[in-house]
């Protein structure tokens, strides 16, 4: 099924039509998207980059789970490319009256929404929508259960590449709730495609990933081993909304001491290692607040890159719309 979803992303000419997963996106396309995104960055204090490449098109944001960064950045990205952007308020939408997801999609299609940006708590929803929309409509996955968050993976890859483009000689350590993390999944897919030297996934045993979910990664339960000489350290939030039972997960103080990304634990990583976090952060649990705000942190850069990456993705799918 996932292999089919990877193919579903491309039209009959091999152009990107939907972005459902980073699986199936090769190193050439990843690099092109990152290069395009770099072109949308401007200096601090300068006006943001703009174009009219999506003028006349409409982007619909359908977030059936909470979001700040992804939703706001898709909104800004669409507007900065000249599109109309519709932010559906799910809490007051007719989904609350029992309308199906497809009926919601068909309703927006009838209003000439061209791009559906979808976040949902259930597996498979973005691909399901992609299989059912009209030929000219594109679907972008903005976070799917614990499965995939492809634009987050792209912005993380971009941020890592800005620190060091030599993926093959790099160690990336991701620390936290790996089992429930779509961020870790998409980052892992992107990094493996780029030929990452070593990817380590560090978590307490209760939050370790199921076997086979992260091919090529090293699963570690000790932070000293996991962060040893790492070039990049990414902290992840515990996804409480996806965990029925917290049995076996250490309490806050124990968790922070053993799995928190802190000044104390960063002594194991390389002296110039960067600190990442996809947000939202729980300071004092998975990351030390002062470290998140300090010079090694690239967390706000990730957010800035997020707008640029979403502009690059929207522009790319807009190119095939302009030929239809």
Contacting positions for ligand CP (CB under 6 A) = 67-71, 143, 152, 278-280
Q: Closer CB to ligand CP, residue 68 or residue 164?
A: 68
Label the pairing between strands 198-202 and 274-276.
unpaired
Cβ atoms < 10 Å from Cβ of 43: 6
Enter the DSSP assignment of 269: S
Label the pairing between strands 58-63 and 84-87.
parallel
Q: Closer CB to ligand CP, residue 73 or residue 193?
A: 73
The least distance separating ligand CP from the CB of residue 194, rounded to whole angstroms, comes to 20
The least distance separating ligand CP from the CB of residue 88, rounded to whole angstroms, comes to 15
The least distance separating ligand CP from the CB of residue 306, rounded to whole angstroms, comes to 8
Phi, psi of 134 (to 5 degrees): -70, 165
Cβ atoms < 10 Å from Cβ of 290: 11
Q: Closer CB to ligand CP, residue 63 or residue 255?
A: 63
CB 144 within 8 A of CB 119: yes
The least distance separating ligand CP from the CB of residue 121, rounded to whole angstroms, comes to 12
The least distance separating ligand CP from the CB of residue 281, rounded to whole angstroms, comes to 10
H or E stretch including 291?
A: helix 289-292
Q: Alpha-carbon distance 295 to 301, whole Å?
A: 12
Q: Closer CB to ligand CP, residue 72 or residue 101?
A: 72
Q: Closer CB to ligand CP, residue 60 or residue 278?
A: 278
């Amino acid at each position: 099924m996932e292999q089919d979803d990877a193919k579903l992303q491309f039209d009959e000419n091999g152009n990107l039509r939907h972005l459902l997963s980073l699986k199936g996106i090769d190193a050439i396309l990843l690099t092109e998207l990152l290069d395009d995104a770099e072109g949308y960055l401007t200096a601090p204090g300068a006006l943001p980059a703009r174009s009219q490449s999506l003028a006349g098109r409409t982007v619909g944001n359908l977030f059936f789970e909470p979001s700040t960064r992804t939703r706001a950045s898709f909104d800004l990205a669409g507007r900065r490319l000249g599109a109309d952007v519709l932010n559906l308020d799910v809490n007051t939408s007719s989904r609350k009256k029992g309308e199906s997801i497809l009926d919601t999609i068909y309703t927006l299609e009838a209003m000439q929404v061209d791009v559906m940006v979808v976040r949902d708590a259930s597996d498979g929803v973005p691909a399901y929508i992609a299989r059912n929309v009209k030929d000219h409509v594109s679907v972008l996955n903005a976070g799917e259960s614990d499965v995939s968050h492809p634009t987050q993976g792209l912005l993380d890859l971009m941020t890592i590449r800005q620190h060091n483009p030599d993926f093959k000689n790099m160690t990336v350590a991701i620390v936290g709730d790996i089992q429930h993390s779509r961020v870790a999944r998409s980052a892992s897919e992107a990094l493996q495609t780029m030929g990452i030297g070593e990817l380590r996934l560090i978590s307490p045993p209760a939050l370790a990933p199921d076997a086979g979910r992260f091919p090529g990664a090293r699963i570690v339960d000790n932070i000293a081993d996991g962060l040893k000489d790492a070039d990049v350290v990414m902290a992840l939030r515990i996804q409480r909304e996806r965990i029925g039972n917290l049995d076996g997960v250490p309490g806050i103080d124990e968790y922070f001491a053993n799995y928190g990304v802190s000044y104390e634990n960063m002594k194991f990583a390389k002296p110039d290692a960067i600190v990442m976090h996809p947000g939202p952060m729980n300071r004092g649990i998975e990351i030390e607040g002062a470290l998140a705000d300090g010079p090694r942190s690239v967390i706000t850069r990730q957010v800035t890159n997020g707008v640029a990456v979403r502009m690059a993705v929207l522009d790319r799918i807009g190119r095939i719309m302009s030929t239809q």
